[in-house]
Structure 1
């Protein structure tokens, strides 16, 4: 593949998957909704319609077309109930335009909000297909408040229609000293971008149905 963006290049390190190296200045900032915070590192960007309906279907079908590796690498102290499959290499191969867009948005939104990525930095994306299926789990799906170790940019993209599950609202720590926790209700195809290593986040319990997301952490 020939990359048209001068600000990044991609390669594999043979062990941990993809490596992204950023060059030159960040691309133009995409339209986004800001969940304000007094501290720069706690600001959150919500991008509506990050994926089209067709792209959501394409991502959802990847689990059937690839032998994705199911993983269980969460911290032993983290309380969660969901199923996870890694898919960064598969996404890059099958849907490169979506992979590209993820990197593009991460670089641009970081430059706009958090300023953690410098020219020449290397980025190790870990992309996951995550399912909270109450019927399969036999209990509500959940994940408790936590941060993503060393993740400069964390992304959550909603793949389920809001009618397919109840609960599962994205929550973030307060953005002001006396503020309440902030929340983002994502519709199918919407995405939220945040500084995962600094901003504590969680979801409300998924009490029924099936909630599916595409998630990326990067360090």
Structure 2
């Protein structure tokens, strides 16, 4: 008996939440319940961070004009991305890539401008501040899914332009626009799989043993 183990029901709930998390693009205008957004941000803030640097910052976008400006910037980047995709351009333009104007809440997630002083864990890997922020976003994603709220991560933007739009200080950097809100239903599979953009790789393709590209025996 492992005294640190959760109950079977709790374990099942964790794996269910992970398995049914989706990157959502379609939202309902219904506001979040009182305290819900704070819980999601608190869940994000409980994430691990290298050297306990806690590099994440969250900007809640409540100004309608600013939300529209951000959405317009994302649309411009969507078109530029389509141009860069060449033969998949038309296919990409048919995808819905954001729900900025339809979701209940929009958050811009940024890296703080004072993260450079945290050398512990970053001396040879400075990108660990970004890894830490990603953990925070994942925490929020899972908390939202557990409460039946959708979250979509938008990355189609120019960091410097978005930094200025949000009046972020020099040295800081936005890394995500998050759309949060109620949804009619969660996609039965990742939307990009449903749209045949790509598919999830098999474990055999991503797990190696001792050296790169050396297949690892399955440990069922």
Structure with the larger RCO, 1 or 2 (CA within 8 Å, 6+ apart): 2
Max radius of gyration: which structure?
Answer: 2
TM over 0.5: no
Q: TM-score, normalised by structure 2?
A: 0.31
The structure with the largest strand share of the pair is 1
